[in-house]
């Protein structure tokens, strides 16, 4: 196997024997084959769209299957193989539709090769062998590290984008332009030869389309759950039966809250579910009692300690410990072999499991943290923020956030947040916030110094606030007293980075390690164009920014 798509990749070069995430070589091969088959679907999909044919099945399948290959989403070979079968069937349909449409429109069909002609092997071993033939390693051998790395930058960005598009679609927010552009870019990646400029332009095109998707998702969240509002969230448990919900899918949470109403079970959020407490349509359920634990990489310890059943709705799942595997459930595209999977949001088995478990036997302290600073809330106090900046009371804003991960070097983000001077404020989002969101930051003239904007996708809110401030100050976002200190881990962070670059945002600090797929040559280009840089030492970086 060869995989270098996430930040924790082995030796920061690539996982070759076994994934640091727990992905074994067979699963890695199946995921590579899924990407390959998705490319074949995109080749036909893109051409069908040019001929005016709608391709909803292709779009849905690409979203679902690429999402399954995002880090820490689906490790279940059976579910992955079933997905591959679905892809193969759809590929045959797409091929037939393409040929028929060409005939009807008296157009000459293109003689497509590569993934468009893929014929599925008839055994799991055969699929694994086909996956090995689709490995990134062969791309590196064929095109060299720079070109292959840029191709993967685009593909990983697309994986993040379609994962967010999948979230948005669940909430009824879609845009045909997004699907068309995804097909077009994936088709482009099936070319035989590439120029660096052309690849960079496509990477920015992913950023552009992802910006649209983030907006769709923001709209979907607000339409379904109301506008996030500042809300205090309890971070210690209360006595009673308990269910813990992790991941990003707020629709799953809503349905679970409905199905648990009046059943005597308390629901807790974990990881990226924390922002749920700020949405009116979710917080209205009194049995959504609080948050338990921190970011994803704490789950093996925290899930073991949690005395109820647990639902993992999206990334990031880790190899379950035996102690809690039997009370862990997955939904959506998430999968782990042997873990019960919830279909169609029917949470009966999960609820029964929680009722049969002891739950918390006593109340803990009612310490709380504040969440819910989406763009509307922050814009609502924009005049105060502007006044504070103009009056010299608010010197600088730092966006510190993104993903979290297990490495101790990620303490950089805690150190940085702790050292931010008292006349500066912090915006945060994603699961990276758990590094410092339980610390006391106080306020500046009534504006909290730590503003939690939500999930990683709520980077959209941060961008909206930056754009609005730039308008007020009649300047460019890059000239605002605002710095971005981003922690990345998986491919959702890659598409957000591409969106920030597409928007022309400069001087971003990213870490803890730079992506292994960005080679020194490519990094040089990004440094020259955007002054993109790695993180260094927290105190020194802070000093440099403020001086």
Rounded to a whole number of angstroms, the minimum distance from the CB of residue 493 to ligand SF3 is 6
Classify strands 288-291 and 328-330 as parallel, antiparallel or unpaired. unpaired
- Specify the residue, 453 or 510, whose C-beta has the smaller distance to ligand SF4: 510
The answer to whether 272 contacts ligand SF3 (rule: CB under 6 A) is: yes
DSSP string across 296-355: GGGHHHHHHH-SSEEEE-SS---PPPHHHHTTEEE-TT-B-TTSEE--TT--HHHHHHHH
- Specify the residue, 29 or 456, whose C-beta has the smaller distance to ligand SF3: 456
User: 3-state DSSP call for residue 446?
Assistant: coil
- Specify the residue, 245 or 516, whose C-beta has the smaller distance to ligand SF4: 516
Among 268, 436, 489, 517, binds ligand SF3 (CB under 6 A): 489
The answer to whether 513 contacts ligand SF4 (rule: CB under 6 A) is: no
Nearest to 21 by CA among 413, 296, 325, 245: 296
One character per residue 439-458, x = contact with ligand SF3 (rule: CB under 6 A): ----------------xx--
CB atoms closer than 10 angstroms to residue 301: 12
Structure tokens at 395: 């010197």
Please tell me whether 102 is known to bind a ligand: no
- Specify the residue, 4 or 211, whose C-beta has the smaller distance to ligand SF4: 4
Q: How far apart are CA 515 and CA 508, in angstroms?
A: 14
Beta strands in 204-308 (DSSP E): 231-234, 241-246, 265-269, 288-291
Of the candidate spans 6-14, 317-325, 362-370, 480-488, the one that interacts with ligand SF4 by CB under 6 A turns out to be 6-14
Give bridge partners of residue 510 from the DSSP assignment.
486, 534
Rounded to a whole number of angstroms, the minimum distance from the CB of residue 332 to ligand SF3 is 13
Rounded to a whole number of angstroms, the minimum distance from the CB of residue 164 to ligand SF3 is 10
The answer to whether 38 contacts ligand SF3 (rule: CB under 6 A) is: no
Work out what residue 296 binds among ligand SF4, ligand SF3, none; the CB cut-off runs from 5 to 8 Å by kind: ligand SF3
Rounded to a whole number of angstroms, the minimum distance from the CB of residue 69 to ligand SF4 is 9
CA 526 centroid distance within chain = 22
Is the CB of residue 235 less than 8 Å from the CB of residue 367? Answer: yes
Residue for token pair 């995804």: 182
The answer to whether 490 contacts ligand SF3 (rule: CB under 6 A) is: yes
CB atoms closer than 10 angstroms to residue 198: 13
Of the candidate spans 147-155, 237-245, 262-270, 487-495, the one that interacts with ligand SF3 by CB under 6 A turns out to be 487-495
- Specify the residue, 3 or 450, whose C-beta has the smaller distance to ligand SF4: 3
Residues between 242 and 261 with contacts to ligand SF3, criterion CB under 6 A: 248
Structure tokens at 438: 């339980």
Q: How far apart are CA 161 and CA 492, in angstroms?
A: 7
Classify strands 396-402 and 482-487 as parallel, antiparallel or unpaired. parallel
Among 296, 306, 360, 398, binds ligand SF3 (CB under 6 A): 296
Work out what residue 431 binds among ligand SF4, ligand SF3, none; the CB cut-off runs from 5 to 8 Å by kind: ligand SF3
DSSP 360: B
Is the CB of residue 7 less than 8 Å from the CB of residue 403? Answer: yes
- Specify the residue, 6 or 466, whose C-beta has the smaller distance to ligand SF4: 6
Is the CB of residue 442 less than 8 Å from the CB of residue 359? Answer: no
Of the candidate spans 5-13, 52-60, 184-192, 465-473, the one that interacts with ligand SF4 by CB under 6 A turns out to be 5-13
Work out what residue 425 binds among ligand SF3, ligand SF4, none; the CB cut-off runs from 5 to 8 Å by kind: none
- Distance (Å) of CA 512 to CA 13, 405, 459: 14, 9, 19
Cβ-Cβ contacts under 8 Å for 506 (sequence gap 6 or more): 478, 530, 531
Q: How far apart are CA 122 and CA 156, in angstroms?
A: 28
- How would you list the strands of the sheet with 328-330, edge to edge? 288-291, 265-269, 241-246, 309-312, 328-330, 340-341
Rounded to a whole number of angstroms, the minimum distance from the CB of residue 274 to ligand SF3 is 11
Nearest to 159 by CA among 515, 491, 496: 491
Rounded to a whole number of angstroms, the minimum distance from the CB of residue 490 to ligand SF3 is 5
Terminal alpha carbon distance of the chain: 46
Nearest to 275 by CA among 434, 105, 386: 434
- Specify the residue, 160 or 290, whose C-beta has the smaller distance to ligand SF3: 160
- Specify the residue, 267 or 317, whose C-beta has the smaller distance to ligand SF4: 317
Work out what residue 250 binds among ligand SF3, ligand SF4, none; the CB cut-off runs from 5 to 8 Å by kind: none
CB atoms closer than 10 angstroms to residue 219: 15
The answer to whether 23 contacts ligand SF4 (rule: CB under 6 A) is: yes
The answer to whether 20 contacts ligand SF4 (rule: CB under 6 A) is: yes
Rounded to a whole number of angstroms, the minimum distance from the CB of residue 124 to ligand SF3 is 28
One character per residue 42-81, x = contact with ligand SF4 (rule: CB under 6 A): -----------------------------x----------
Give the binding site for ligand SF3 (CB under 6 A). 72, 248, 271-272, 296, 315-316, 403-404, 430-431, 455-456, 489-490, 492-493
What is the contact surface with ligand SF4 in residues (CB under 6 A)? 3-6, 8-9, 15, 19-21, 23, 71
Residues in binding site for hybrid [4Fe-2O-2S] cluster: 248, 272, 316, 403, 431, 456, 490, 492
Binding-site sequence positions for [4Fe-4S] cluster: 3, 6, 15, 21
């Amino acid at each position: 196997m060869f995989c270098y798509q996430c930040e924790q990749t082995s030796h920061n070069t690539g996982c070759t024997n076994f994934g640091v995430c727990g992905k074994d070589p067979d699963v890695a091969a199946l995921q590579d084959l899924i990407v390959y088959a998705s490319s074949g679907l995109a080749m036909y999909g893109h051409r069908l769209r040019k001929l005016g044919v709608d391709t909803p099945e292709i779009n849905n399948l690409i979203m679902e299957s690429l999402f399954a290959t995002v880090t820490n989403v689906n490790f279940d070979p059976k579910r992955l193989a079933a997905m591959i079968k679905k892809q193969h069937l759809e590929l045959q349909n797409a091929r037939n539709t393409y040929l028929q449409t060409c005939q009807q429109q008296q157009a000459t069909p293109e003689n497509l090769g590569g993934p468009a002609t893929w014929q599925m092997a008839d055994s799991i071993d055969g699929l694994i062998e086909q996956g090995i033939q689709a490995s990134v390693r062969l791309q590196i051998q064929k095109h060299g590290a720079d070109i292959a790395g840029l191709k993967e930058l685009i593909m990983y960005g697309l994986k993040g984008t379609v994962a967010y598009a999948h979230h948005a679609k669940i909430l009824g927010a879609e845009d045909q332009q997004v699907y068309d552009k995804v097909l077009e870019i994936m088709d482009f990646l099936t070319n035989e030869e590439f120029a660096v400029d052309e690849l960079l332009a496509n990477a920015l095109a992913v950023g552009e389309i992802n910006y649209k998707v983030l907006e769709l998702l923001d709209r979907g969240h607000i339409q379904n759950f109301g506008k996030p509002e500042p809300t205090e969230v309890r971070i210690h448990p209360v006595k009673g039966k308990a269910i813990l919900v992790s991941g990003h899918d707020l629709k799953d949470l809503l349905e679970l809250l409905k199905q648990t109403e009046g059943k005597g079970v308390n629901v807790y959020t974990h990881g990226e579910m924390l922002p749920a407490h700020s949405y009116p349509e979710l917080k209205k359920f009194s049995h959504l009692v609080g948050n338990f634990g921190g970011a994803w990489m704490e789950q093996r310890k925290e899930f073991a300690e949690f005395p109820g059943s647990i639902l993992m709705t999206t990334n990031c799942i880790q190899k379950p410990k035996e102690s809690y595997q039997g009370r862990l459930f997955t939904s959506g595209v998430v999968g782990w072999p042997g873990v019960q999977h919830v279909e169609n949001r029917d949470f009966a088995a999960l609820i029964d499991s929680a009722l049969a478990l002891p739950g918390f036997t006593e109340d803990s302290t009612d310490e709380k943290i504040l969440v819910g600073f989406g763009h509307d809330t922050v814009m609502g106090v924009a005049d105060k923020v502007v006044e504070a900046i103009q009056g010299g009371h608010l010197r600088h804003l730092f966006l510190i956030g993104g993903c979290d991960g297990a490495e101790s070097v990620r303490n950089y983000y805690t150190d940085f947040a702790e050292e931010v001077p008292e006349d500066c404020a912090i915006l945060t989002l994603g699961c990276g916030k758990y590094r410092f969101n339980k610390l006391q930051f106080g306020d500046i003239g009534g504006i909290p110094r730590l503003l939690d904007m939500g999930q990683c996708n709520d980077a959209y809110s941060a961008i909206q606030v930056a754009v609005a401030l730039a308008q007020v100050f009649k300047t460019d976002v890059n000239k605002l007293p605002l710095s971005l200190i981003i922690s990345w881990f998986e491919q959702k962070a890659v598409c957000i980075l591409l969106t920030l670059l597409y928007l022309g945002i400069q001087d971003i600090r990213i870490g803890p390690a730079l992506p292994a797929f960005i080679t020194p040559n490519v990094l040089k280009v990004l440094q020259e164009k955007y002054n993109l840089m790695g993180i260094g030492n927290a105190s020194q970086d802070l000093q440099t920014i403020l001086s």
